[in-house]
Structure formats: C-alpha cells, structure tokens
Amino acid sequence: MLFDVWAPWARQVTLHLSMRPVPMERDPDRVGWWVAEEEAGPGARYGFALDDGPVLPDPRARRLPEGPEGPAAVTDPGAFPWRHDWAGRGLPGAVLYETHIGTFTPEGTFDAAAGRLGHVAALGVTHVELMPVCAFPGRHGWGYDGVAPWSVHEPYGGPEGLQRFVDTAHGHGLGVVLDVVHNHLGPSGNRLPEFGPYFTEAHHTPWGAAVNLDEHGSDEVRAYFVGSALAFLRDYRVDGLRLDAVHALVDNRAEHVLAQLSAEVDALSEELGRPLFLIGESDRNDPRTTAPRACHGHGLHAQWNDDFHHALHCAVTGESQGYYADFARAPLATLAKTLERGFFHDGGYSAFRGRRHGRPFDRAATPAHRLLGYAQTHDQVGNRALGDRVATLAGEEGSAIAAALVLCGPFTPMLFMGEEWGAVTPWQYFTDHQDPELAEAVRNGRRREFGAHGWPAEEIPDPQDPATRDRSCLDWSRVDGGAGTEGDEPWLLGWCRRLIAIRHAHLPPGLTLADVRALADDAAGWLVVHNGPLTVAVHVGEGGEAVVPLGDGAFERLATTHRCPPPEGSGVLRLPPRAAAVLRRVAE
C-alpha cells in the first residue's frame, strides 16, 4: 500500500511500519509530499519521523488505537460490510436530534447508542446529529478538543464503530449528521505544526494561532480539512456535516474555504447520487453563510440560529443575564421578529456587543429550512454553570411551549438528547485531559469564569472529575420503566411525538421566510405565528386567560397542552396560562 505524508519543511522522512524504519522519497508530482510503497495489513502500526525526530502519528490517520499521540493503525474503510442500501435523506423537511455518544448511554459507545436509535426513530426524527467523534486525549470529553480530524475516537468504538452506528441508523430510516471542527485543534496532542504550515500567526482566534487558510502553503491545509470532511461523507456514509464556529475560519482569499467545501460536497453528492448537506454554526448573523455560491454566498445548506434560541429561552424561563439581555426586554416581540425575518440582530444595535450586528435576509428568497431552530443545544446547556436544562428551569409547561414553537415553527427543528421527555439530568462541561497542568488550568478557568458571576467555586463541577461526566449521562429509566412504562410514558414525550407528526403531515417543504407571519403581546404574554398552513399560539404568562387573535379564516385545532375551547368565530383563541396550541387553517 502507499504511505504518503505532506512535510514540506523536512529534509528527510522515515516511515516506521511495525517497528521497522523505511526511508521515504519525495513525490515528484506533489510539492512537499513524501511517499513509500510497503506491504501492510489492517491493524499494522505506523508513523512518520521527520529529520530523525520522534515518530509521529499520520496526520491523516483513520484509526489511533492508543490515542492521539500513539501510532496510527492501517484500516480499510472500504471493507466494511454495509447491510443497508441508503438513498439518502436531505435537509428540507428534516427534524434533527443532537446527541453526544459519550453520554447518550452510560456505556458511552457507538454500539450502545445504536441500541437506542429505535426510540429516536419512533419519535419521528429524521436525522441524528452527533457531536464530534474525532480522536482527543483521554476517554471522555465533549469532542471539541480533537486533534486528528480524519480519525474516530477509539473509546467510542473507532472507525468500524462509527460505520456500524451509521448503518444501524440508516436501517431505522435515520440520516446521520456529524459535527466537525475545522477552526482549531485541541490544546494537547496537536502535532500538525511539526509537519508543515497548518497554522499561521498572521491571524488569531480564541484558541491561538489560526488555521492557515490563506497564507503560504494554505492550498494543502485547505485540502487537508476539506478532504477529511469528504471522507466522512463518502467512507462512513454520513449524510451531512455540522461545521463548528465557522466565524473563526479566518480566510481572506477570493474563494472562502466554506465555498470551496460546499462546492466539493455538492459534487460528491452528484457523484454518489444521494443528498449531502452542510450546516454551519456562525456568530455573524450573515446571510452570505447560506446564500448560494452563484449569489456570492458560501453555499452552506443551513445554519444554526442562536437568535431564535435566545428569544425563546428568555420567553419561557425569564432569564435576562449576559447575552440574553438583548432579547429579554420584550422576548415575545423579539421572537416574533426572529420568526419572520430569520435573525433578530439583522443590522441593528446590540447592547451586549456594543455595536450594530448582523444583516437582513431576503425573506422571499430564503427557504425557512436553512435556519435551525432549537430550545436547547450542547452549548446552551453545557456552558451554563451547572448544565441545567430547560425542563429544570421552566418545568414541563415551559418545555411544552418551547417544543410547540420549535417543532411546528418555520425553521428546521432540532432537539437535544432527552429533551423530548423533559430530561432533568444536567449536561455539564467535562474533560479527561492527561496533562496535569492543563487539567488544573481548565478546572481553575471554569471556576474563575463563573466566579465572576457570583458562583462559589465549590459549586462549579470539576470538569476532570469522572462524576461530572457520569451526572451528564441520560437517565433512560424515564422511558424504560417507572414513569416510562407502557401506557404511562412521560406526557412531554407524547406531546413531542404528536408535534413532529403534525409537522410531517401538514407542513410542506419549500416555505420561505416570507410565508411566516408572527404577532406578539409581551404585556399579555401571548405569541401567535402563522407558518404556512400551520398556526402556533402560546401563552407564557402566569396570570389569567389570554385572548389570542388568530386573524381571518377558520382554524382546526390539531394539538393543545390544556383543555381549551376551540377558536371562536371572531378569530380568537382563548388560552389558559402556560399553554400552547397548534392549529391548521382550513377552507371555510
């Protein structure tokens, strides 16, 4: 087999294959590349030594059985015996379910998680979105400290474990979306700078020197990250990728790396004959992120919408600290604007940032599914001091209101694992750094961060304590037994299942932001949103009954959280406190 590595600064490179050194030669056709042809079977350990230095793992290693700093192992992703033919499942009409393999089950493996996919499919979800699975130091962590973008974390089950998970998901009719991190590598175990100019001091991000996307040598760096993304879509049959913090991808070239990636993903989709898509996480509120490349956009297929989350969170919990302050003054009116226009911050002033922020969408040209709507994510739960969920903060009624707006709203909905049954297990920040100094720095940094907001240090969970990870594992007894026994499932689970069924039955794909109309009254505590043929009305107040104007036409009730009278002929709906209703406009 061919072993190759990009090491443009090296004077000589030696392949170490099963403890045997093999001199490598310069590739005459590729500048900076070294090659060697050797016999090697699956599982054979190997690495590269640059100029007689230490043996380093292959930057493109698929498998790192001893962790990110150990030798790579030869693996053949094309040899996996796939059981299910899969035609693919695109983003329009999708319902996503964000999952962390390490805490979805106590076992924290792909195989254990695959055993729970029947529950997810029965909910009506169409895609499981996995948090990052690339190799990182230690056993447990969020995955955003990965240091080998082509690899799969061995404690989860390695490359074949991921393939088994995807194959099982496809057997349940579920697509798989994988979260990938291209904006930085973890603070421990990153050996890429020893191979070549993978990072540049010309730009800096919150993690230090930026990934080199536009300086000398950046062609190969871009190809490295784009290639890893294509490998997960092709070799692991993943259906889409969620790109972490794309605003931190500093790139001043004429073609942004996101546009390059989206073009190559679209080409691969055409080649494979199944839909593939990219979802970006961006803090810029910039419509160019998802605008087509032909319109000088980056061509991503969707992006997360934190504005929607923030306004919804304020409405159901009443919180107003930090970045919630911009949304808390009139959360329902803010939410109404976000539902209609896509962003709340679309060029206006943000007090939190101390400047104007964002740009507006062309509502008529923007499909609503290009924005993801959610009440909870790993970030919005895990970055809280105690990792508390909406069910803890707002109770079952607040969770049900949030679910109605997420699952029957205009945006592509996404749930965070356990949200569908009102899980109250926290999801906290946990790490397993092997470097004692780094572990202590992370521990102290977490305490300083929340100490500045008045939290006593002893109340902040220690990220390095294994109990922090264990507390964050889902408690499946809520649906397996006790309150979850047959005929006595959690009420919220049935509510979410019904809302998703309504969405699939009544909400056609192809709606744009121009098809959304929303009206709110913060003083009275109600919001109504007309989303194509569906109407969602909510009352977040604690006081008396709310009289919600529905407008002209006749409406059929599809689901309500409380017993309430049907819409009146005068075009109003009476909702009790902390209630939600989903209706459908019908011909008179």
The answer to the question of whether 246 is labelled as a binding residue is yes
Annotated catalytic residue within 69, 281, 346, 397: 281
Residue 435 among known ligand-binding residues:
no
Instruction: Say if residue 382 carries a ligand binding annotation.
Output: yes
CA distance 249 to 439: 27
CB 500 within 8 A of CB 549: no
The answer on whether 379 is annotated among ligand-binding residues is: yes
Q: How far is 378 from 504, CA to CA, in rounded Å? A: 25
136: annotated binding-site residue? no
- From the number of C-beta atoms within 10 Å of its C-beta (0-12, 13-18, 19+), residue 59 rates as buried
Concatenated DSSP letters for 42-72? TT-EEEEEETT--EE--TT-SB-TT-TTS-E
Task: Report how far residue 291's alpha carbon sits from residue 302's, in angstroms, rounded to the nearest whole number.
Answer: 9
**Residue 48 burial (C-beta neighbours within 10 Å; 0-12, 13-18, 19+):** buried
**154: helix, strand or coil:** helix
Catalytically annotated residue among 244, 419, 515, 521:
244
Q: Is 310 annotated as a binding residue?
A: yes
Token pair 């080199």 is found at 212
Any known ligand binding at 519? Answer: no
Cβ contact 122:116 at 8 Å: no
Q: Is 62 annotated as a binding residue?
A: no
309 in a known ligand binding site = yes
Parallel, antiparallel or unpaired: strands 45-50 and 72-73? antiparallel
83 carries a ligand binding annotation: no
Residue located via tokens 């008396």 = 544
Instruction: Give the residue from 305, 303, 307, 357 showing the smallest Cα distance to 331.
Output: 307
Mark whether 244 is an active-site residue.
yes
Residue 579 annotated as lining a ligand binding site: no
Check the annotation: does 52 bind a ligand: no
CB neighbours (10 Å) of residue 505?
10
Each residue of 524-545: b (16+ CB within 10 Å) or e? bbbbbbbbbebbbbbbbbeeee
Coil, helix or strand for 264? helix
Is 378 annotated to bind ligand? yes
Q: Rg (Cα) of the chain, in Å, rounded?
A: 25
> Among this protein's residues, is 281 annotated catalytic?
yes
Q: Is 383 annotated as a binding residue?
A: yes
- What's the distance, Cα to Cα, between the start and end of the chain in Å? 70
Binding residues for substrate: 242-247, 306-310, 378-383
Binding residues: 242-247, 306-310, 378-383
Residues annotated as catalytic (active site), given as ranges = 244, 281
